């Protein structure tokens, strides 16, 4: 039947031969147009379909070959072609947040910066690095948020326009901060290795181990954002955990390095999840039989008061502040108090303090980064000068008391330069007193 119908249609579509005058060569027949082919194909399909319905059982005819054109009509039974205006494009929407984090982890980057209307960027050893990904649109950013936040957390962020939290993958833990900006929502993620580096692996001075053996007092680790404070404190906690049978409570916002109890028992609490405020958790910790309390950040006067109280009542307390030197850390704490309170607080701080470690990071000659330190140990002389507010004498003592483990940032940078780990330019750039550093370098060059 198919052949019969085909024959009829072919004959009906064959044009009649026109009469040509004698002596004039006949014109060649016009080629069949695409429209004619399309019409024939559609008519054939309809005829075969009617025939199939009448017989209720017949062999389905194979479809005719498609016309040699990209504009051929769409065949029944196949999805219609997608208009070019809505075809998927290669955009950041196809990139998941986990893929970005994995790329940063594999390349050794420390931070990821994302934002609506911005190209994703990485922080590579202290420097911002642009990527080849397209600008992030709002839809993509929201899809990334849904990867790491619950709907209730997203709702809370949209109300407060701030969010702090953390998430964990098989290869790394990630600290997350989300905020609103002029262009739209933005996100910064800090990559935290699951493996905690030891004091030896970080090449920290031996005095760090000595500090860990104190049974009571206040240890402060300070420095600007991104200076490695959390990494240093994690190494110290890890050393205590492996070597001493103690009860350790950490209060962080959010929890960064995750510790597993070994010789010590470790309980980690996150502000906003396991407690409402630093101060509340710190006060509660005093009734939880701790040997060591780690306070992620001493943000206000109340937290400092409670930390000092805990240090004075027989506990070892570790905390962080955002200051650039050991001596400035003492001044920063005292400046939280009014003039009439400062004398009493100087005495309390002098009696409670164990050590102040100010830290920075600098790029090394092999493309990595190394820590340099300002280390103040609370000896009897330092204790007296803290009570009297003689901070200049403390700075001079730090330059001379290397036998107690003290060191200044300039001395630490100079040591790195002597070891060949940093260049002269880096030493001068990172020095808090470049003139003094230049004099030291001139004596060696």
Domains, the chain, ranges and CATH?
97-193 (3.30.450.90), 206-407 (3.40.50.300)
Give me the pLDDT at residue 421, please. 94
List of residues 6+ apart from 32 with CB closer than 8 A: none
Mean pLDDT per 10-residue section of the chain, whose length is 445 residues: 44 47 48 45 46 43 46 41 40 77 94 96 92 94 94 93 92 94 95 93 94 96 91 96 96 91 96 87 92 90 90 93 92 91 93 95 91 95 92 90 90 94 94 92 70
Cα of first residue to Cα of last residue in the chain, in angstroms, is 101
**Whole-number Å distance between alpha carbons of 279 and 297:** 11
Torsion sign over Cα 384, 323, 211, 399: negative
Long-range pairs of 303-306 with CB within 8 A, sequence gap ≥ 24: 303/278, 303/279, 304/333, 304/336, 306/279, 306/282
Q: Residue for token digits 């027989």? A: 314
**Whole-number Å distance between alpha carbons of 204 and 372:** 9
Structure tokens at 178: 């989300």
**Whole-number Å distance between alpha carbons of 371 and 375:** 12
Give me the pLDDT at residue 444, please. 54
Decide: 262 and 283 in contact? Cβ < 8 Å.
Answer: no
How many Cα atoms within 13 Å fall on the side-chain side of residue 316? 18
Decide: 409 and 355 in contact? Cβ < 8 Å.
Answer: no
Pairing of strands 247-252, 292-295: parallel
CA 254 remoteness from chain centre: 13
**Whole-number Å distance between alpha carbons of 257 and 253:** 11
Number of C-beta neighbours around residue 141 at 10 A: 23
Per-residue H/E/C for the chain? CHHHHHHHHHHHHCCCCCCCCCCCCCCCCCCCCHHHHHHHHHHHHHHHHHHHHHHCCCCCCCCCCCCCCCCCCCCCCCCCCCCHHHCCCCCHHHCCHHHHHHHHHHCCCCEEEEEECCCCEEEECCEEEECCCCCECHHHHHHHHHHHCCHHHHHHHHHHCEEEEEEECCCEEEEEEEEECCCCEEEEEEEEECCCCCCCCCCCCCHHHHHHCCCCEEEEEECCCCCCHHHHHHHHHHHHHHHCCCEEEEEECCCCCCCCCCCCEEEEEEECCCECCHHHHHHHHCCCCCCEEEECCCCCHHHHHHHHHHHHCCCEEEEEECCCCHHHHHHHHHCCCCHHHHHHHHHHHHHHEEEEEEEEEEECCCCCEEEEEEEEECCHHHHHHHHHCCHHHHHHHHHHCHHHCCECHHHHHHHHHHCCCCCHHHHHHHCCCHHHHHHHHHHHC
**Whole-number Å distance between alpha carbons of 359 and 220:** 11
Number of C-beta neighbours around residue 190 at 10 A: 18
| Nearest of 103, 147, 323 to residue 227 by alpha carbon | 323
List of residues 6+ apart from 294 with CB closer than 8 A: 233, 237, 248, 249, 250, 251, 252, 317, 318, 319
């Amino acid at each position: 039947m198919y052949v019969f119908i085909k024959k009829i249609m072919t004959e009906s579509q064959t044009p009649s031969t026109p009469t040509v005058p004698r002596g004039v060569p006949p014109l060649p027949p016009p080629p069949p147009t695409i429209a004619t082919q399309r019409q024939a194909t559609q008519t054939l399909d309809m005829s075969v379909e009617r025939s199939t319905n009448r017989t209720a059982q017949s062999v389905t005819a194979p479809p005719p070959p498609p016309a040699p054109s990209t504009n051929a009509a769409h065949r029944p039974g196949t999805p219609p072609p997608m208009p070019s205006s809505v075809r998927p494009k290669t955009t950041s929407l196809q990139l998941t947040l986990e893929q970005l984090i994995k790329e940063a982890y594999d390349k050794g980057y420390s931070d990821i910066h994302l934002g609506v209307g911005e190209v994703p960027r990485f922080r590579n050893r202290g420097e911002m690095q642009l990527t080849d990904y397209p600008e992030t649109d709002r839809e993509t950013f929201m899809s990334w948020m849904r990867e790491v936040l619950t709907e209730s957390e997203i709702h809370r962020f949209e109300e407060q326009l701030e969010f702090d939290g953390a998430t964990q993958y098989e290869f790394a833990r990630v600290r997350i901060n989300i905020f609103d900006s002029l262009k739209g929502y933005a996100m910064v993620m800090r990559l935290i290795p699951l493996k905690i580096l030891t004091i030896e692996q970080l090449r920290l001075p031996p005095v760090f181990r000595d500090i860990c053996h104190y049974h009571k007092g206040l240890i402060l680790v300070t420095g600007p954002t991104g200076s490695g404070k959390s990494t240093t404190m994690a190494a110290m906690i890890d050393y205590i955990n492996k070597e001493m049978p103690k009860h350790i409570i950490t209060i962080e916002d959010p929890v960064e390095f995750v510790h597993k109890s070994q010789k010590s028992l470790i309980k980690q609490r996150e502000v906003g999840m396991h407690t409402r405020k630093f101060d509340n958790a710190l006060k509660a910790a005093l009734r939880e039989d701790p040997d060591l309390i780690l306070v992620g950040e001493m943000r206000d006067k109340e937290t400092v008061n409670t930390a000092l109280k805990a240090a004075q009542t027989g506990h070892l307390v570790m905390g962080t502040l955002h200051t650039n030197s050991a001596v400035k850390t003492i001044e920063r704490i005292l400046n939280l108090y009014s003039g009439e309170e400062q004398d009493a607080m100087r005495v309390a701080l002098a009696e409670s303090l164990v050590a102040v470690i100010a830290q920075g990071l600098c790029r090394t000659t092999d493309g990595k980064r190394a820590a340099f330190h300002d280390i103040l140990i609370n000896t009897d002389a330092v204790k007296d000068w803290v009570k009297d507010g003689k901070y200049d004498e403390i700075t001079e003592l730090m330059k001379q008391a290397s036998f107690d483990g003290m060191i200044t940032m300039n001395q630490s940078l100079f040591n790195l330069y002597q070891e060949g780990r940093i260049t002269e330019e880096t030493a001068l750039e990172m020095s808090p007193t470049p003139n003094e550093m230049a004099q030291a370098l001139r004596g060696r060059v």
